[in-house]
Chain A
Amino acid sequence: MEKSNLKQKDVIPRAQALLKELEAGNDKAASELIDELSVMKERELFQGIGKLTRNLHDTVSDFFDDTVLSKFSNIDQQEFPDALERLNYVIQMTEESANTTLTVVEETIPLSENIENRGNELRRRWGDLRSRKLTLNEFKQLSNDIEDYLDYSIDMSVQLSSKLNEVLLAQGFQDLTGQMIKRVITLVENVEDSLVELIAAASDRQSPPDQTTQQSGSDPNTKGEGPALPSTKEGVAKGQDEVDDLLASLGF
């Protein structure tokens, strides 16, 4: 940015005059001087904005010959629609995962409540047995019920384990959405860098922008691409079955 255009030789006499008029109680004259000073200040601001706008305009006009362009062109244009789709996919995956988890929890709570209720009931009757309150028939019934309960609790434990495993797997979304968000962050950083350079180029057109190479230029193949977007059809295996088929075709 330009240094201040407000010339001290213009300001100081007016400021001194302003002080004099104020001390003399000449409000009208003082007010005129204040207006004059603020007009000067505004004019300086408009000149600054005008200069910046002109420079920005010139820079954008020259954009196609400018190294700034190469910065922007490093960002694949498809990255923008992809980024939107990625973020939407993140919402979808987190929603699915939350729903899966909630459903499993809703199914699991009654199971554990049943185990607890039946256990409590048997515990009470067992207490009666220990204090010799049960008839022979009641004792026979109790021993049958305990046997049932043992089978039941084993069965319930198996079911609970399987439900907990579903919850476990549903947490996989964090990895997949995390990879997607990381790619969007990289895009935003690249755009930010390019904008900063554009502004730098516009405000100081004498010094060309820094020509450091883009970080995202690393080999995408060995680094990995992250999860494929749902809309990607070309060259992407849809699910484990297609992976297995492909590997089988390679003699796996």
Chain B
Amino acid sequence: MKILVVDDFSTMRRIVKNLLKELGLSNTEEAEDGASALTMLKGGEFDFLVTDWNMPGMSGIELLKAVRADDSLSHLPVLMVTAESKREQIVEAAQAGVNGYVVKPFTAITLKEKIDKIFERMTG
């Protein structure tokens, strides 16, 4: 299971990576904005994308839309971990095809629940 963690704040990338490690998911790579993330996704066999929303350059929602529009990536499960908590934004992410939405600040349990749920649906 290879995971890409996208956030413009390196501290948050480290937090998410460490929490994923706790869950036994240690094969992670990082990107600091949507544009570099998209390049990495196209180049490497990623199984899962965890992305922030608010980033300079290409934002997380734009990345999500680009992923869904790309034939080779459209089925990639995407978990959004973000401080964006406006209802219209959550609806927009859902409509764009996000697989899970976690608002910051979050707990380790919440992250685990959402990831488990996504994997359940993938296998089920």
Contact = CB atoms under 8 A, between A and B. Distances in A.
Nearest to A174: B11
B84 interface: yes
A228 B53 CA distance: 13
Interface size bracket, B side: 35 or more
A223 interface: yes
Interface in B77-124: 82-92, 94, 101-108, 110
A243 B90 contact: yes
B90 A247 contact: yes
A113 interface: no
Contacts of B61: 222, 224
B18 A237 contact: no
Interface residues of A, number: 31
A243 B106 CA distance: 12
B55 to A, nearest CB: 8
Contacts of B22: 161, 165
A171 interface: yes
A35 interface: no
A176 interface: yes
A221 interface: yes
A174 B54 contact: no
Given A222-B62, A225-B86, A247 B9 contact: no
Given A221-B92, A223-B59, A239-B103, A171 B11 contact: yes
A246 B19 contact: no
A12 interface: no
B94 A252 contact: yes
A237 B52 CA distance: 17
B54 A247 contact: no
A174 to B, nearest CB: 4
Contacts of B107: 169
A228 B88 CA distance: 13
B15 interface: yes
- Across the A-B interface, the 10 shortest Cβ-Cβ residue pairs: A224-B54, A227-B83, A175-B9, A175-B12, A174-B11, A224-B53, A237-B85, A172-B105, A250-B94, A235-B87
A175 B92 contact: no
Given A179-B54, A236-B85, A224 B59 contact: yes
Contact of B87 (A173, A176, A236, A240): A236
Interface in A194-252: 221-228, 235-240, 243, 246-247, 250, 252
A168 interface: yes
B19 A168 contact: yes
A127 interface: no
